[in-house]
């Protein structure tokens, strides 16, 4: 694993450019800032290229898909590809509507991404595996999630982080699993988006699988610490998770990480 990730983040302070959804941008920007990155959020396709140039990584979120958001994603994604900067993509509810599938396909064709982060239902949709998704929730399927993640990684030729009670990180061949978890993360809307932002910060440093796996553990480790203090108060838990993100050091992260 990447044993000096937190220290490196705070030294390099990667700039992460976000095409966020319209629900959780504050939460995402705070998450990036709390661990030591520098968030930028944008809204005009006309400056997508200029802002991508000053970013260390780009995070694209399908949550509030519309023509402007799609133009933002394409503009930032294409520039990032040209400049060899990493792109994290969250295909929110991609299986829910034909429009989301079409726009995802267009993005992946025109601007290949470095890393896809989604729940089981979303990754299954990209893998072409049948899955019973429910709204924005993960839903249930009959195929092993590890196989789902590997299939999606091979199809999209990128790293896949399939998040859930156990997070699966794979480049299509090698597989790591992070078993840290806190059920109250799903009670607070947008913690998956915060994970995307954290992965963007990490990708701004390195996109090797060990760095991404370590980064995947940051949020659940902080959330486990918060759960100890607020076992049945989900908003207090959220507040304390942010406090812990700001405080987390490499020693604590490495000690608590449960990777297999």
CB of 236 to its own copies, least distance (A): 6
CB of 187 to its own copies, least distance (A): 6
Question: From residue 88, how far is each of 58, 79, 140, 196, 234 by CA, in Å?
Answer: 6, 14, 24, 7, 28
163 carries a ligand binding annotation: yes
Alpha carbon separation from 125 to 91, 132, 148, 169, 190 (Å, rounded) = 9, 10, 9, 17, 20
| Residue 76, both tokens | 């930032």
DSSP 206: -
**Piece of 66-74, 117-125, 151-159, 204-212 that binds its own copies (CB under 8 A):** 66-74
Question: Cβ–Cβ contacts within 10 Å for residue 142, how many?
Answer: 8
97 binds its own copies (CB under 8 A): yes
Structure tokens at 88: 């994290």
Asked if 11 is part of the footprint of its own copies (rule: CB under 8 A), the reply reads no
Sign of CA dihedral 95, 212, 26, 238: positive
Compute how many residues bind its own copies; rule: CB under 8 A: 58
Position 172 contacts its own copies (CB under 8 A): no
Instruction: Tell me the chain's radius of gyration from C-alpha atoms.
Output: 17
Query: What residues does 137 pair with on adjacent strands?
Result: 134
| Smallest distance from its own copies to CB 62, Å | 11
Q: Which stretch binds its own copies (CB under 8 A): 128-136, 160-168, 206-214, 216-224?
A: 128-136
Residue 41 is labelled as binding a ligand? yes
Q: If binding is defined by CB under 8 A, does position 83 make contact with its own copies?
A: no
Instruction: Calculate the dihedral angle through the C-alpha atoms of 25, 26, 32, 34, rounding to the nearest 10 degrees.
Output: -170
Q: What is the DSSP letter of 113?
A: -
117 among the known binding-site residues? yes
Q: Please select the residue that binds its own copies; options are 84, 109, 232, 255, rule is CB under 8 A.
A: 232
The verdict on 20 binding its own copies (CB under 8 A) reads yes
Kindly report the length of the chain.
Answer: 260
To the question of whether residue 206 is assigned a binding role by annotation, the answer is no
Interface region with its own copies, contact rule CB under 8 A, candidates 59-67, 108-116, 155-163, 168-176: 59-67
Q: Residues annotated as binding site for substrate?
A: 41, 190
Q: Residues annotated as binding site?
A: 41, 117, 163, 190
Positions that interact with its own copies (CB under 8 A): 15, 20-27, 29-30, 33-34, 38-44, 46-47, 50-51, 54-55, 63-69, 93, 96-100, 134-137, 187-190, 232-236, 239-240, 242-243, 246-247
């Amino acid at each position: 694993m990447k044993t000096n990730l937190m220290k490196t983040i705070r030294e390099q302070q990667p700039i992460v450019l976000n095409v966020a959804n319209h629900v959780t941008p504050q939460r995402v920007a705070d998450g990036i800032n709390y661990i030591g990155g520098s968030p930028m959020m944008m809204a005009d396709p006309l400056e997508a290229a200029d802002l991508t140039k000053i970013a260390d990584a780009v995070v694209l979120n399908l949550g509030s898909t519309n023509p402007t958001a799609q133009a933002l994603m394409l503009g930032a994604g294409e520039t990032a590809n040209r400049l060899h900067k990493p792109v994290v993509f969250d295909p929110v509810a991609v299986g829910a509507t034909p429009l989301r599938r079409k726009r995802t396909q267009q993005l992946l064709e025109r601007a290949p991404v470095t890393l896809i982060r989604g729940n089981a239902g979303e990754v299954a949709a990209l893998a072409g595996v049948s899955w019973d998704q429910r709204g924005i929730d993960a839903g249930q399927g009959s195929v092993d999630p590890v196989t789902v993640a590997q299939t999606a990684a091979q199809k999209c030729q990128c790293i896949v982080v399939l998040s859930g009670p156990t997070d699966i990180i794979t480049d299509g061949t090698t597989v790591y699993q992070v078993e840290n978890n806190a059920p109250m993360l799903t009670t607070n809307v947008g913690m998956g988006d915060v994970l995307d932002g954290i992965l963007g910060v990490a990708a701004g440093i390195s996109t090797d699988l060990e760095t991404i796996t370590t980064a995947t553990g940051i949020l659940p480790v902080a959330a486990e610490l918060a759960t100890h203090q607020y076992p049945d108060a989900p908003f207090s838990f959220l507040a304390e998770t942010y406090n812990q993100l700001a405080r987390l050091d490499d020693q604590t992260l490495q000690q608590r990480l449960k990777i297999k």
